[in-house]
Chain A
Amino acid sequence: MELDPEDVFRDEDEDPESQFFQEKEASKEFVVYLIDASPKMFSSTCLSEDEKQESHFHIAVSCIAHSLKSHIINRSNDEIAICFFNTREKKNLQELNGVYVFNVEKREGLDRPTAKLIKDFDSIEESFMNDIGSKNGIVSDSRENSLYSALWVAQALLRKGSSKTADKRIFLFTNEDDPFGSMRISVKEDMTRTTLQRAKDAQDLGISIELLPLSHPDKPFDISIFYKDLIGLNGDELTEFMPSVGQKLEDMKDQLKKRVLAKRIAKRITFMICDGLSIELNGYALLRPATPGTITWLDSTTNLPIKVERSYVCADTGAIMQEPIQRIQPYKNQNVMFTAAELSEVKKITTGHLKLLGFKPLSCLKDYHNMKPSTFLYPSDKEVIGSTRAFIALHRSMLQLGRFAVAFYGGTTPPRLVALVAQDEIESDGGQVEPPGINMIYLPYSNDIRDIDELHSKPGVAAPRASEDQLKKASALMRRLELKDFSVCQFANPALQKHYAILQAIALDEEQLRETRDETLPDEDGMNRPGVVKAIEEFKESIYGDDPEEESDSGAKEKSRKRKAADAGDYDFVELAKTGKLKDLTVVELKTYLTANNLPVGGKKDALINRILAHVSK
């Protein structure tokens, strides 16, 4: 499987903005997962997806395992550390009791996640009691305070790097809302004070502490007892925080997933509403196709990355050409010459602003008015005060009147007309489902739209339409095949899952490939339910009648395939191959031989000839 170099180094005609959408991983994130391992974390349970009782510890650990996997795939430059507190054993640089930094060989405390770490962490629950152990580390007599120690250790781990270049965060998992509750009043006050001070010190160093609380089914986690001060929430934010107190594993995973991803502004956009009034927006790429990542070429003997150098060579003289290279377009019997600068000047027709042109009812936005993933717009008052207010007003009006804005956006190549569709906030138990804001949808130009309908019309001949009975059967079938609770992002990409399963297996020298399930296949059990089968049968019968077999062709037979096979006989390929005259044939003619002999037909002419030669000589 040779890689086409063109694929790696895209032509410069390609969208230069695509690189901005792929979200460069320039700024890193340092994360310490701090997990309470007190006996209470093991004894408390709550319901999981499949209605089983799961311990809080299990929930926390599986969330983190999940999150690690997405780290290694999507953001492998991030550095992470895993740290338990309230443990029997201790392992940390400061030699503090009750704190255990979990790690694997060849890895610093805070480092990029490796395959080994993920693998070992996956089985942490089996080995935890033996190797690390659970023990309440807050003891009033000895003045031990494992929470305090844990924060200290975490802060020390995060000492690395500048807070300018990396986001530093601590994720704290606990189900104890009142860690010093059982203390004597004086000790409690003292411990609370020192712990809060510790947290504040960390925050002053640019470390943010985020709490992922776990609730008991009968006693919700009360954040106001202690933690609101620790994470520095005030009144307003408190209400914002509360709904996110998770009870279920799934909610927790969602929570963590949302929080782990740092919000990255893809682009700052100036939105010109009318003459003399512009507001500031931030554009976010919330939806972008995830890819297996780029290929790195390695030296097969050392497995070290190799350097790929590209050079432009003049075909006539063999001289190395310097970039930028002139371009030509054959036109009117001559080669019209363009310099790179001229070409980029052609494309530069406007500033990068977003200009409002007017509004239309939502019905004007057709299903085929789409070019690429949308961009999410959210206002910012950072540079232009008053932006948010104007944005909210337009947002509300558009929602209420069922209209969208048409605007011209100069920030892409080519600049495009865009539809700005207001999206109201949607919330569920698990938190925000859709953020409030405006989605920018890129519209096609007239020549981008193809008229396929017309191709399939037969003028004067009425196209067959479904009868009343057929419609009724279709309706019954549709009701049977209703997807309950369908949500857009419920499927994992099976190709990507498989790809990473392969990588993981090879990286860890595993014999067995982790099974990946293709979630996108139809639900066979569901499809085989008698009701569904019956509805399908009835619909089928209403369309195809009694004849259970596929209908026969009413139109012309497919001739193309036949033609391909027949044509190959025109030349004596063996003879041509012997005399070296294959190159005199056209590519089309060469391909007839290849098709006739079931050989691949891809590649350049030389490749085709070689393939025929190889086949003939057999």
Chain B
Amino acid sequence: MARNREGLVLLVDVGPAMHSVLPDVEKTCSLLMQKKLIHNRFDEVGIVLFGTQETENELARDIGGYENVVVFRNIKVVDELVVDSVKRLPRGPVAGDFLDALIVGMDMLIKMYGAGQRGKKRLCLITNAASPTKDPFEGTKDEQVSTIAVKMAAEGIKMESIVMRANASGDVDEKIIEENDHLLSLFSSNAIAKTVYVDSPLSLLGSLKTRRVAPVTLFRGDLEINPTMKIKVWVYKKVAEERLPTLKMYSDKAPPSDKFAKHEVTIDYDYKVTEETSEVIAPEERIKGFRYGPHVIPISPDEMETLKFKTEKGMKLLGFTDASNILRHYYMKDVNIVVPDPSKEKSVIAVSAFAREMKQANKVAIVRCVWRNGQGNVVVGVLTPNVSERDDTPDSFYFNVLPFAEDIREFPFPSFSRFPASWKPDEQQQAVADNLVKMLDLAPSLKEEVLKPELTPNPVLQRFYEYLELKSRSTDAALPPMDEAFKRIMEQDPELSSTNKSIADAFRGSFEVKENPKLRKASKRMLRDKPAGSDDEDNHMITYNATENNVDTVGDANPVQDFEAIISRRDGNDWIDRAISEMKKRIVKLVEDSTTDEGDKVLECLLALRKGCVLEQEPKQFNEFLNHLHELCQERKLSHILEDFTSKKITMIPKSEAADSDVADEKADDLTVKQEPKLES
């Protein structure tokens, strides 16, 4: 097996109690296979089912026992077939023994890989662990499990158990569950094994790490207390965003007959003096510049090199401070973890001493870090203790980047206490709010915390891979709807909200909200398009798209509507100018290919533009344009439009309508007068 390759055996409980969740299990496993196909194509996968009617495994053949365990797939390189086959797992009629399955899986891994490949061999058990396990031939179950676990650790096999705890009601035997939990915990203490309990399809989807990333240190070196005292540490990413795969661009320009076409697209950059010329500037004639005020300052690479900020790799301690001094929202980036170099026992102890003492005294450490030699910048961050709960795991620190002075924009905001009483909640309202915050509880003391980030899958990625699979079968497959399981992160849990219905009702009743009636028309329309708490989500999406998202040009069909949509966009400050210039272009175009019946449309557009310019206080833009248009019409002898101007009283925007206008009220319709000399010349 290559360096970065994994051998995985999935152990899936298909007994009767699992039937209801198997569809979700199938989904998770198939996603896992899909990602392996794309990102880890050389990984090898075997699948063992237990709780089946049949028995089909090597151990049963060779030594007997191990009934109702079927090797569904032997360990081999992941392929297209497995993506499909895990989606159609057979249902079994028997309550299976997960210990039997574990041993079968372990046996497969050992036979396949021998003792090598430490840490690259993985067992993944998916069960509800609610059926009894058989007693061993000799000794107790505890002893048996410990032996297996020690063997696993010795062989370097990792184990991961996902235990479904969806419905703790009815026919389950508490005693068996308790015993099984105990057995699973024995694995954790003797081998690299962890157990995750999941209670919803959503957390099931999130529980299996479907994307395997080989952990890479981004720093190995000294954590320097002072020049004489250094601790050897390794730094890894603790959190890093999993993105969509980078999709390549595809060209279909090559003729279909060309069998060797690569269909690739390359990106070319041309550096030109101006947009018009085709003259390209050679690389040696270019120089980099940075904006400084109104000027761009050119800097040659040499200057840059000699002058730039130089750094030396290392982590330096600046000191300790109270944890309360570092507010949570100052964390700037994804998080790193700082672990002691595992080969340096003294460093492990030193980190342990600091971590435990920091936790106890509620302190954090401030450090300055340069991860690579010559890296162009430094980071200042905070180390927070990560005291291990497991005996066999060394203590470590989490590292979060803190902002520099330049990164902070301190806007003052009015104190809540200074708001008028009508904006503040009264006692009764406050009580209602308290109640909501207390009762809409996602981490009840008796149950598992829900919506843990650790168990919440990314809905977009889930959907992409599902779509990919569908498209691979049929090119024009439709985008699948969002998986039901994801409703849980997109909306309040219906169960939770129905038990707390009265509280939510009370909240709604106490806090009345209404649209501001004094709003201008333009922004009001926006509000209507984004209805607060509207039920008809679909309907809403359509209007939202039409007026908000997509319109950025004034088209031919509905120029007036387009213009109004753009000018009222508030997601950027350029839209007003954009709308006006688009509209101008459209009008000029209409005038230029003017036939008589277009006259009305020109007028309509012009009126809309005028209105928009008055609303947005851009009188100059309109006035100049109107003059220009006037000239244009005279040049082209389009007298009917000119007549319309006067008959429909389209005038320039005077001071009374927009303060910035430099056209006096009485001069607003003076177009003709002003233009007269030109007409004669």
Interface 9-residue window, one of B108-116, B487-495, B598-606, B644-652: B487-495
Q: How far is the CA of A403 from the CA of B440 in the complex (A)?
A: 11
Do A346 and B463 contact each other (CB < 8 Å), given the known contacts A392-B423, A432-B412, A478-B363?
yes
Q: Are B335 and A370 in contact (CB under 8 A)?
A: yes
Is A614 in the interface zone, CB < 8 Å from B? no
Per-residue contact bits, chain A 287-326, to B (CB 8 Å; 1 contact, 0 not): 1111011111111110111111111111111010100011
Q: Are B489 and A287 in contact (CB under 8 A)?
A: no
Q: Which residue of A lies closest to B227 (CB)?
A: A527
Is B442 in the interface zone, CB < 8 Å from A? yes
Is B590 in the interface zone, CB < 8 Å from A? no
Q: Are A358 and B513 in contact (CB under 8 A)?
A: no
Is A220 in the interface zone, CB < 8 Å from B? no
Is A231 in the interface zone, CB < 8 Å from B? no
Q: Which residue of B lies closest to A259 (CB)?
A: B412
Q: Are A522 and B617 in contact (CB under 8 A)?
A: no
Is B607 in the interface zone, CB < 8 Å from A? no
Q: How far is the CA of A431 from the CA of B405 in the complex (A)?
A: 17
Q: Which residue of A lies closest to B384 (CB)?
A: A367
Is A39 in the interface zone, CB < 8 Å from B? no
Per-residue contact bits, chain A 345-370, to B (CB 8 Å; 1 contact, 0 not): 11101110001111111001101111
Is B137 in the interface zone, CB < 8 Å from A? no
Give every chain B residue within 8 A of A537 (Cβ-Cβ).
228
Q: How far is the CA of A157 from the CA of B353 in the complex (A)?
A: 63
- On chain A, the number of residues with a Cβ less than 8 Å from chain B's Cβ atoms is 229
Give every chain A residue within 8 A of B412 (Cβ-Cβ).
258-259, 431-432, 435
Is B628 in the interface zone, CB < 8 Å from A? no
A interface SS class: mixed
Which of B526-573 touch A at CB < 8 Å? 527, 530, 532-533, 537, 540-541, 544, 570-573
Give every chain B residue within 8 A of A287 (Cβ-Cβ).
329-330, 332, 403, 407-409
Give every chain A residue within 8 A of B325 (Cβ-Cβ).
486-488
Is A598 in the interface zone, CB < 8 Å from B? no
Do A351 and B540 contact each other (CB < 8 Å), given the known contacts A314-B254, A332-B37?
yes
Q: Are A551 and B572 in contact (CB under 8 A)?
A: no
Q: Are A446 and B492 in contact (CB under 8 A)?
A: no
Q: Are B430 and A460 in contact (CB under 8 A)?
A: no
Which listed residue (A311, A403, A431, A463) contacts B392, Cβ 8 A?
A463
Q: How far is the CA of A24 from the CA of B573 in the complex (A)?
A: 8
Q: How far is the CA of A328 from the CA of B264 in the complex (A)?
A: 10
Q: Are B457 and A445 in contact (CB under 8 A)?
A: yes
Q: Are A449 and B453 in contact (CB under 8 A)?
A: yes
Q: How far is the CA of A571 from the CA of B620 in the complex (A)?
A: 74
Is B396 in the interface zone, CB < 8 Å from A? yes
Q: Are A313 and B268 in contact (CB under 8 A)?
A: yes
Give every chain A residue within 8 A of B301 (Cβ-Cβ).
1
The size bracket of the interface on B is 35 or more
Give every chain A residue within 8 A of B290 (Cβ-Cβ).
292-293, 295-296, 499, 503
Per-residue contact bits, chain A 490-530, to B (CB 8 Å; 1 contact, 0 not): 11111110111011101100000100001011110001000
Is A456 in the interface zone, CB < 8 Å from B? yes
Give every chain A residue within 8 A of B533 (Cβ-Cβ).
272, 275-278
Is A32 in the interface zone, CB < 8 Å from B? no
Per-residue contact bits, chain A 381-423, to B (CB 8 Å; 1 contact, 0 not): 1111111111011111110110101101000011101000101
Q: How far is the CA of A287 from the CA of B409 in the complex (A)?
A: 6
Is A466 in the interface zone, CB < 8 Å from B? yes
Q: How far is the CA of A212 from the CA of B360 in the complex (A)?
A: 45
Q: How far is the CA of A306 from the CA of B460 in the complex (A)?
A: 39
Q: Are A346 and B330 in contact (CB under 8 A)?
A: no
Q: How far is the CA of A371 from the CA of B242 in the complex (A)?
A: 11
Q: Which residue of A lies closest to B660 (CB)?
A: A162
Q: Are A494 and B309 in contact (CB under 8 A)?
A: yes
Give every chain B residue within 8 A of A459 (Cβ-Cβ).
149, 153, 190-193, 392
Which listed residue (B209, B413, B490) contacts A350, Cβ 8 A?
B490
Interface 9-residue window, one of A95-103, A107-115, A221-229, A589-597: A107-115
**Would you give the shortest CB distance from A74 to chain B, in whole angstroms?**
8
Give every chain B residue within 8 A of A572 (Cβ-Cβ).
none
Give every chain B residue within 8 A of A414 (Cβ-Cβ).
458-461
Which listed residue (B320, B350, B395, B511) contacts A393, Cβ 8 A?
B511
Which listed residue (A305, A372, A395) contacts B333, Cβ 8 A?
A372
Q: Are B273 and A328 in contact (CB under 8 A)?
A: no
Give every chain B residue within 8 A of A455 (Cβ-Cβ).
119, 215
Q: Are B573 and A27 in contact (CB under 8 A)?
A: yes
CB pairs A–B below 8 angstroms (15 shown): A272-B532, A286-B411, A309-B271, A325-B250, A343-B247, A357-B493, A370-B333, A388-B419, A390-B513, A392-B424, A445-B461, A488-B408, A498-B309, A521-B368, A550-B230
Q: A258-B412, A329-B247, A444-B239 are in contact. List 8 more A-B contacts (CB 8 A).
A: A268-B570, A316-B263, A321-B253, A355-B490, A415-B460, A443-B456, A463-B352, A488-B330
